[in-house]
Amino acid sequence: MKIGMLADERKMCYNTLNYFLAEIAKSLQQRGIEVQFITKIDLLAIQQRFDAFIGLNRPEPALQSSDGSFLLDRLGIPFFNLLVDAPYYHSGSLKSHAADLHLIFLDSGHVKYCQKYYMPCKSVEMGYLIGPAGTPIPYEDRALDLLFTGGCYDYTHIKEEFLSDQKPAEIRDIFSYLIDSGIHSPEYTTEALILSYLHSDQTPVNAEVLDFLMREAGVWAEYYLRGYYRERVVRSLAEAGLRMTIAGGGWGSVFPKCPPNLTLLGEVNMTETADLTANTKILLNVMPWFKDGLHDRILTAMYNGAICVTDPSSYIKTHFQADKNIVLYELNALEQVPNQCRYLLEHPDKARKIAQAGQQKAETEYNWDHFVDSYILKWL
């Protein structure tokens, strides 16, 4: 068997997509399966006679030949596409695509949305992703108290630009409604809020209309809210005087006069991030508006023996135990986060137990071999 791995030439998001792909390839190779990295499906790739393709956020399943047929249908080759964003971020390639397409999302709500509004696929499932592990350091010897990995952008600019743009009034109104509702009621999905806005919770909504509103207003509202809560959470800890390290771009504009308890590293590569995580006691996470999913920062923290302090999702509440192997906070009660983190730092024995339990759970239940078996090889 030979599988083509579609590498990302743009190396987006600190090259994390290619890292995930390389880990999947490594697991496949350990089973004696031949893999080859390519950057696109062209004539040369077709001549290689692959048995399947795997990629992350790839548009190839929607590629059509001059006669209107899908390229992958003509080849008769399955495609496994891991989408790290909500389906409406990829609407163009999900409305119409090859038949033998397998989608893997990071949120069960995204799975349901895709099945409800887009063209049927061979399979649509929720999976997970895991970042790298750094050099192990005993919990009590770790140098960093708190770590946040991820950039921050000027989310206020998104609002100003969106509302000043020549968009239809209804789109601007829905955008404003979404960010206001997301600040006051962050537990709801974007889909649920738009349906509520339309007063159509129990009345079927035209799929094309909803998808249009999700793409035109929902995506940008999520970008805004993601930045809003990242800044709020980090600022709450900074103002409480806790020592914190931030690895990610854009934070200099948030803290132009950086307080002495914050260390801003700027953008760092994945290897450096892994070593930082393995040397921190608490990794702070803000979910990217996943309401029933799992982000790779959570599993990466656990694999590196750090406590993950995160806002919850339905999936997290079901599959993890608060204050046993993870620590949860609520977006509408951010004033509690500094006290939660301070308590963990002041009670190292309890903190160590939570970190160890999280690491054991991650290593036992979430690993690349299990991923390959559960989401890829069972279909081949």
**The domain spanning residue 113 has which CATH number?**
3.40.50
Does residue 117 belong to any structural domain of this protein? Answer: yes
Domain span at 76: 2-127
Using pLDDT thresholds of 50, 70 and 90, give the confidence band for residue 13.
Answer: very low
Residues 180, 225: Cα–Cα separation, whole Å: 9
Does residue 372 belong to any structural domain of this protein? Answer: no
Residues 99, 203, single domain; the answer is: no
Residues 158, 301, single domain; the answer is: yes
Residues 118, 148, single domain; the answer is: no
Phi and psi at residue 235, to the nearest 5°: -65, -35
Residues 215, 349, single domain; the answer is: yes
Do residues 60 and 38 lie in contact, with contact meaning Cβ atoms separated by under 8 Å? no
Beta carbons within 10 angstroms of residue 185's beta carbon: 13
Break the chain down into helix, strand, coil percent, rounded to 5: 50, 15, 35
Q: Radius of gyration of the chain from Cα atoms?
A: 21
- Condensed to tens digits (0 to 9), the pLDDT of residues 110-122 reads 999 999 999 999 9
Residues 151, 220, single domain; the answer is: yes
Last residue of a domain, one of 127, 153, 169: 127
Sequence-separated (6 or more) residues with CB below 8 Å from residue 42: none
Last residue of a domain, one of 127, 162, 181: 127
Last residue of a domain, one of 67, 101, 127: 127
Does residue 359 belong to any structural domain of this protein? Answer: yes
Do residues 183 and 228 lie in contact, with contact meaning Cβ atoms separated by under 8 Å? yes
Residues 143, 113, single domain; the answer is: no
Residues 162, 247, single domain; the answer is: yes
Residues 233, 152: Cα–Cα separation, whole Å: 12
- For the cut 90, the answer to whether the pLDDT of residue 166 exceeds it is no
- For the cut 50, the answer to whether the pLDDT of residue 98 exceeds it is yes
Helix, strand, or coil (residue 67):
coil
Residues 56, 91, single domain; the answer is: yes
Does residue 374 belong to any structural domain of this protein? Answer: no
Tally of domains in the chain: 2
State whether the Cα torsion 334-336-340-342 is positive or negative.
positive
Residues 225, 334, single domain; the answer is: yes
Does residue 212 belong to any structural domain of this protein? Answer: yes
pLDDT reported for residue 201: 55
Instruction: Give the whole-number percent of the chain exceeding pLDDT 70.
Output: 97
pLDDT reported for residue 203: 64
Residues 164, 244: Cα–Cα separation, whole Å: 36
The order of strands in the sheet holding 101-105 is 34-38, 2-6, 52-56, 79-82, 101-105, 123-126
Single pTM value for the model: 0.94
Residues 157, 99, single domain; the answer is: no
Does residue 375 belong to any structural domain of this protein? Answer: no
Residues 76, 109, single domain; the answer is: yes
Does residue 133 belong to any structural domain of this protein? Answer: no
Using pLDDT thresholds of 50, 70 and 90, give the confidence band for residue 12.
Answer: very low
pLDDT reported for residue 216: 95
State how beta strands 123-126 and 280-285 pair: unpaired
Among 65-69, 103-107, 155-159, 294-298, the minimum mean pLDDT is found in: 65-69
Burial of 76 by CB count in 10 Å (0-12 exposed, 13-18 middle, 19+ buried)?
exposed
The CATH number linked to 342 is: 3.40.50.2000
Does residue 370 belong to any structural domain of this protein? Answer: no
Residues 59, 176, single domain; the answer is: no
